[in-house]
Amino acid sequence: MSTRARDYSQLVAREICEALARTDEAQIETLVDMIEEAGNIFVGGAGRSGLMMKAFAMRLMHIGFSSYVVGETTTPGIVTDDLLIAGSGSGQTRMTQALVEAAAARGARTAVITGHPESPLAAAADHCVYVHAPVVFVNAERPTRQPPGTLFEQCLLAQCDAMILMLMDRRGTTEEQMRLRHTKFE
């Protein structure tokens, strides 16, 4: 019996919708408020979560925020009134936790988006957004049929894009304004 490509696409879409439907709106609103109040916004994460956060930084820049990816050569130092947003499915990535701790030590506010709200990383941050797509390990109950970590990463990108839409609405940002900030080297 063959499974059609559309069946897999619908499975992925359904899992993302089910996970994001469980996200606490108050947690999202608080993070969006923190973004609007920040001087500069820094994003960080490791592996595929880091890639999703890079996409978020780009979109933040497109709507007019000063946003940076931690670790890039042109990223300035983080200071008081800045915000670090870290993404980590497991909430246990030591490198990402070190970023949160370093930002806090410099007086910046910190937020984490994770699939494990009781994790060390969540405990280290000022604010936590819990995305109901936990990264599971061997012999754990699996909320997804996708490879480990995949659902979290998809939800991280989708939730960040939803926050971009919220920020666009709050700020009255138009697509044309975003296009003006888009790279013109292509």
- Please report, for the chain, the start and end positions of each structural domain, with discontinuous segments joined by +: 8-137+147-174
pLDDT of residue 6: 81
Q: Is 153 a catalytic residue?
A: yes
The one-character DSSP state at 22 is: T
CA-angle at 22, arms to 43 and 50, nearest 5° = 20
Marked catalytic residue, from 72, 153, 176, 186: 153
pLDDT of 184: 72
21: its two tokens = 């439907």
Number of continuous H segments (helices) and E segments (strands) in the chain: 7, 5
pTM of the model: 0.92
Percent of the chain whose predicted confidence (pLDDT) is above 90: 77
**pLDDT exceeds cutoff 50 at 1:** no
The pLDDT, as a whole number, for residue 138 is 44
First to last CA, the chain: 45
Region 77-83: mean pLDDT is: 96
The CATH label, of 3.30.750.210, 3.40.50.10490, 3.40.50.10190, 3.30.1310.10, for the domain at 8-137+147-174 is 3.40.50.10490
3-state SS of 73-92 is: CCCCCCCCCCEEEEEECCCC
State the burial class of residue 162 (Cβ atoms within 10 Å of its Cβ: 0-12, 13-18, 19+).
middle
Gap between the Cα atoms of 53 and 160, Å rounded? 8
Q: Count other C-beta atoms under 10 Å from residue 184's C-beta.
A: 7
- The single residue listed with the structure tokens 């990264």 is 135
What does pLDDT average to over the chain? 91
- What tens digit of pLDDT does each residue of 136-180 get? 654 456 667 776 788 999 999 999 999 999 999 999 999 999 988
**What sign has the CA pseudo-torsion 116, 120, 123, 129?**
negative
The yes-or-no verdict on residue 5 having pLDDT over 90 is: no
- pLDDT of 186 reads 65
Q: What is the mean pLDDT of residues 29-56?
A: 97
Each residue's pLDDT tens digit, 93-142: 999 999 999 999 999 999 999 999 999 999 999 999 999 887 765 445 66
